[in-house]
Amino acid sequence: MEKVYINSIGSISAQKTFDNNDFLEEITTYEDNIIPVIEPNYKDFIPPAAARRMAKGIKMGVVASKIALEEANLTDIDAIITGTGMGCVRDSEKFVTAILDNNEQFLTPTSFIQSTHNTVAGQIALGIGCKGYNFTYVHSSVSFESALIDALMQLELKEAENILVGGVDESGEHTNAIHKLIQHIKPEKINSNELLNSKTAGAVFGEGANFFVLSNKKQDSSYAQVLGVKTFNTLAISDLLANLEAYLKENNLSATDIDVLISGNNGDIDYDNYYTELTNGPFKNTQQVVYKHLSGEFNTASAFGFWLGAKILKTQQIPSAVAINTIKTKGFEIVLLYNQYRGKNHSFTLLRRC
């Protein structure tokens, strides 16, 4: 089996991450329950004729993928695999609204076409003329990890050499409004610095696009090696540790081998107890890192966690904004990511320094 490397990254998030030379030196703090991304100048990346129909999510995905391809020094790629929990919600909302407001009359096709979940993957392929394998996974908080599993299988078996993998979700006005009604979004605005200690239910919703070139050929730009990914549709809190230990064992590792634990806790008092099982348990004395106070919660927020893990391993630095303890300041070899959303769709991802 071939080893798989993260050869490049491209990130658009609620922090200024689109420049790969930066690493969370400047932090933008929010006081809200919905946070937007900090956008690059899309015109620098997408010709106006191509951009004119693109909603925000498509632009974010296309640009993040361009940044990643450029860093990997590639113009074409063997496969494009994306994950998106909600797809292009803005266009979906636009089309539903048009249907309802005009009683199904005088509807135009653009928002319908763009609303399709595989739009971003399709647009990237169209943009670079990539006729290879093109998949889109749409399964809540394991959308990105499903894409990773697929890419790893192909790269490990040498069915492909370079695969573009990414997670993208945009936030939509109506979607946010109704998720506030059912308290999936916190009712109160909250400062990002306080978020993860919040004592209330719900999350702060965000959006973002995080793309990576994964390859079985290591190169100078490589960030880390991907050891593996595992997802679980359900996991009772009482079964979490046993399953994690078994997973680590499959990789010939134990909890003490983990140098950095990156947790996906989002400040939702009803579900963050999953993470405390780890952080107060076997990883109590491990360097711990968090990120959703910077990115917000969205179905592919874990791709931002993956970006963070890759950056930490390459730079061997942990920005102060993400560290919640100071157990270790150098010599980071193995990173474990754990994420779930509302107690479902859990994932473990293992990265190693390369």
Nearer to another protein, 210 or 299 (CB): 299
Cβ distance to another protein smaller for residue 92 or 210: 92
If the CB atoms of residues 53 and 353 are measured against another protein, the closer one turns out to be 53
Between 99 and 269, CB nearer to another protein? 99
When the beta carbons of 48 and 331 are compared against another protein, the nearer one is: 48
Give 138 or 354: the residue with its C-beta nearer to another protein. Answer: 138
Residue 15, CA distances (Å) to 11, 18, 207, 276, 301 in order: 9, 9, 11, 26, 13
Tell me the closest approach of the beta carbon of residue 247 to another protein, in angstroms: 11
Q: Which of 137, 115, 133, 18 is nearest to 57 (CA)?
A: 115
Min separation Cβ 213 and another protein, Å? 17
Euclidean distance between CA atoms 143 and 10, whole angstroms: 18
Q: Which amino acid, 292? A: K
Residue whose pair of structure tokens reads 């979004």 in the numeric block: 185
Q: HSE (CB half, 13 Å, CA atoms) of 348?
A: 26
In the complex, the smallest distance separating the C-beta of residue 186 from another protein, rounded to whole angstroms, is 16
Output DSSP code: residue 191: E
Nearest distance from residue 113's CB to another protein, in Å? Answer: 6
* Separation of alpha carbons 337 and 348, rounded Å: 6
The SS3 assignment for 30 reads coil
Structure tokens at 63: 């640009």
- Closest approach of another protein to the CB of residue 76, in Å: 10
C-alpha to C-alpha distance for 284 and 184, rounded to whole angstroms: 29
- The whole-angstrom separation of Cα 248 and Cα 236 is 18
For the bound state, the minimum distance from the C-beta of residue 273 to another protein, rounded and expressed in Å, comes to: 18
Nearer to another protein, 22 or 76 (CB): 76
DSSP code of residue 340 = E
- Beta-bridged to residue 135, according to DSSP, are 81
- On the 0-12 / 13-18 / 19+ scale of CB atoms within 10 A, 329 is exposed
Residue 4, phi-psi category: left (phi > 0), alpha (psi -120 to 50), beta (remainder): beta
**Is the CB of 115 or the CB of 265 nearer to another protein?**
115
Closest distance of CB 302 from another protein, Å: 14
Distance CA 54, CA 39 (A): 14
183, 269 contact by CB (below 8 A): no
The DSSP 8-state label assigned to residue 235 in this structure reads -
**Shortest gap between Cβ of 209 and another protein (angstroms)?**
17
Q: How far is the CB of 305 from another protein (least distance, A)?
A: 18
Q: Are 329 and 303 in contact (CB under 8 A)?
A: no
Q: Which CB, 228 or 319, lies closer to another protein?
A: 228
CA pair distance 289, 335, nearest whole angstrom: 10
